[in-house]
Amino acid sequence: MDLLLQDLVNGVLAGGIFAVVALGFSLVWGIMNIINLAHGAFVMLGAYTAFVLFSAWNVDPFVSVPIAFVVLFALGYALQRFVLNVVVRAPILTTFLLTFGLALLIVNIVLLVFHGDIKGITTSYSGANFSLGPVTVAWTKLLTLGAALLITALMQLFLSVTKTGRAIRATAMDIGAAQLSGVRVAHLYAIVFGLGAGLAGAAGALISLSYSIQPSMGDPFVISAFVVCVLGGLGSVSGALVGGLVYGVVEAFGSQYVGTGVQDAVALVVLLIVLIVRPTGIMGRAAA
């Protein structure tokens, strides 16, 4: 029972990261119908942003989170406005290949700048933990979960109460009606892609506290984001959170009781079961 509780806690703590990674991926996919394969590269850039700030100026990675968000938002906005916008109406395979090419380009640029050496961030609290009965909780992971929940709540608030957020939701529901209402879709799509990249960058800054940093580190998170989006419900902020937490718990139990090499397979089996029972995902809404 003690081991079961520890795995549950570890899964929930990891699930916050998966939720933030998937949230940006879900926004771009659900609103723009683009499966962004460069999302993992954005996560990696966020981690390197935190690493550079920590190495050069001793900036705490949690302080780096909003900085990484702004830097990656600017990059994502520019890429969408001047590159992806040219093919945004093209078949999904075209944008699929383009984002794959962008991912390769970004990874290779980082390789040229930082080389392939594995890097890491070690803070004064990196090894600190506390106990709750039989369960041991690392402060780093607990604070990361708190930051992930805060980011998710802020994104939900942004989409619900701001003019831009309401325009994004309206465009997702009916792009034609949104255009008739005066929404500049090209600009809005650039904002959405920027938000997706910014959230990936914020997630990368958080991930830098618990994972090693190297150019290909973002690749596994693309797969995780895909599974979480489908599991929780495409385009849903609450769905990304619930899906991320479920994915984290399933991966933790899979790693413990099945094996560290096949935990992703266990998560995919759970995904298939959820889709059979509820094809729109846990929090998704069925089409009218």
Residue-wise pLDDT for 132-179, tens only, equals 888 999 999 999 999 999 999 999 999 999 999 999 998 888 888 888
Q: Is residue 8 part of a domain?
A: yes
Residue 137 falls inside a structural domain:
yes
End-to-end C-alpha distance for the chain, whole angstroms: 44
Residue with tokens 């926004």: 27
pLDDT band at residue 80 using 50, 70 and 90 as cut-offs: very high
Q: What is the pLDDT of residues 93-103, one digit of tens each?
A: 899 899 999 99
Domain assignment of residue 58, yes or no: yes
CA dist 14 and 83 (Å) reads 34
Q: Is the dihedral of CA 207, 98, 195, 112 positive or negative?
A: positive
Strand, coil or helix: 129: strand
What backbone torsions phi and psi does residue 137 show, to the nearest 5 degrees? -120, 125
At 69, list the tokens.
């968000």
pTM: 0.94
> Six-digit token pair at 179?
């255009």
The number of folded domains in the chain is 1
Q: Residue 177: which CATH number?
A: 1.10.3470
Nearest alpha-carbon partner for 103 in 214, 193, 215, 234 = 215
Is 286 contained in some domain? no
What range does the domain containing 117 cover?
Answer: 2-121+128-277
